[in-house]
Amino acid sequence: AQTVTQSQPEMSVQEAETVTLSCTYDTSESDYYLFWYKQPPSRQMILVIRQEAYKQQNATENRFSVNFQKAAKSFSLKISDSQLGDAAMYFCAATQGGSEKLVFGKGTKLTVNP
Amino acid sequence: ETGVTQSPTHLIKTRGQQVTLRCSSQSGHNTVSWYQQALGQGPQFIFQYYREEENGRGNFPPRFSGLQFPNYSSELNVNALELDDSALYLCASSMDTKRWREQYFGPGTRLTVT
């Protein structure tokens, strides 16, 4: 079965600084998709960034970028110029099978200090 | 275009009772997935519905059942509630079951079983 592991239960960063959240996954599939979701206290799961496994180029979305290492099955999220509004739980997720079933990690709680 | 909505926001049930949670998918979406998120954990896939048919199921017992209606809204039913069913229940809708489509999540229903 596919697994997603986030080894950092909590991280903190100073406002305007850069932070990297780690994620590793295990899959036997050749074609899959990886995601980072943000879940603020409001509970709404918000898509931050998506990476297709067949693309070598790392995805970027404004201040958010990923470091996708397919051979190492690693998918880390870098947040640049951290803002107070970035404080939330961050979940790494991967697709499984031919459906849109997502397998999630346990999450990393990010605190942004002013 | 409206987003994914869920009702109710919160509810409290007693062990052994039955509960129905509702989800209205985003306009134009024909696929709904349900996830259970226990406190401090990542979401876990319960099942997915595509055009009113179940299209995949996670490791949940048969007392978790669902429905999808012609307008693609969906219900999650849980019978014989147990204390461990206390969780945040998220639904997510998507355009179709194609692997590369991201899901849009609703705000969730917080279920407490006493």
More confident: B99 or B32: B32
How many other C-beta atoms can be found within 10 angstroms of the C-beta atom of residue B37? Answer: 21
Q: What pLDDT, on a 0 to 100 scale, did the predictor assign at position A112?
A: 97
Tell if the CB–CB gap between A45 and B56 is shorter than 8 Å. no
Tell if the CB–CB gap between A43 and B88 is shorter than 8 Å. yes
Q: Which of B40, B92, B108 lies closest to A43 in CB terms?
A: B108
Tell if the CB–CB gap between B42 and A107 is shorter than 8 Å. yes
In the numeric block, the tokens 């180029």 are attached to A57
Q: Does residue A105 belong to the interface with chain B, where contact is any CB pair within 8 Å?
A: yes
Tell if the CB–CB gap between A98 and B99 is shorter than 8 Å. yes
For chain B, what percent of residues have pLDDT higher than 70? Answer: 93
Q: What pLDDT, on a 0 to 100 scale, did the predictor assign at position A16?
A: 97
Q: Does residue B90 belong to the interface with chain A, where contact is any CB pair within 8 Å?
A: yes
Give the DSSP per-residue string, A4-38. EE---SEEEEETTS-EEE--EEE---SS-EEEEEE
Give the separation between CA B4 and CA A46, rounded to whole angstroms. 12
Among A45, A46, A49, A95, which would you mutate to test the B interface (most chain B Cβ atoms within 10 Å of its Cβ)? A45
Q: What pLDDT, on a 0 to 100 scale, did the predictor assign at position B98?
A: 60
Q: What pLDDT, on a 0 to 100 scale, did the predictor assign at position A27?
A: 85
How many other C-beta atoms can be found within 10 angstroms of the C-beta atom of residue A65? Answer: 17
What pLDDT digit, counting tens, does each position of B61-98 carry? 999 999 999 999 999 999 999 999 999 999 999 887 66
Q: Tell me the backbone φ, ψ of residue A84, rounded to 5 degrees.
A: -55, -35
What pLDDT digit, counting tens, does each position of B5-55 carry? 999 999 999 999 999 999 999 888 888 999 999 999 999 999 999 889 998
Closest CA to A32 of A112, A106, A100, A107: A100
Residues in chain A where the model's pLDDT stays below 70: 1, 98-99
Give the separation between CA B46 and CA B60, rounded to whole angstroms. 6
Q: Does residue B42 belong to the interface with chain A, where contact is any CB pair within 8 Å?
A: yes
Q: Which of B99, B106, B107 lies closest to A100 in CB terms?
A: B99
Q: Could you say which residues from 44 to 83 on chain B have a Cβ atom under 8 Å away from some Cβ of chain A? A: 44-45, 48, 55-56, 58
Tell if the CB–CB gap between A102 and B88 is shorter than 8 Å. no
Q: What pLDDT, on a 0 to 100 scale, did the predictor assign at position B2?
A: 64
What pLDDT digit, counting tens, does each position of A60-88 carry? 999 999 999 999 999 999 999 999 999 99
Q: What pLDDT, on a 0 to 100 scale, did the predictor assign at position A35?
A: 94
Q: Does residue A46 belong to the interface with chain B, where contact is any CB pair within 8 Å?
A: yes
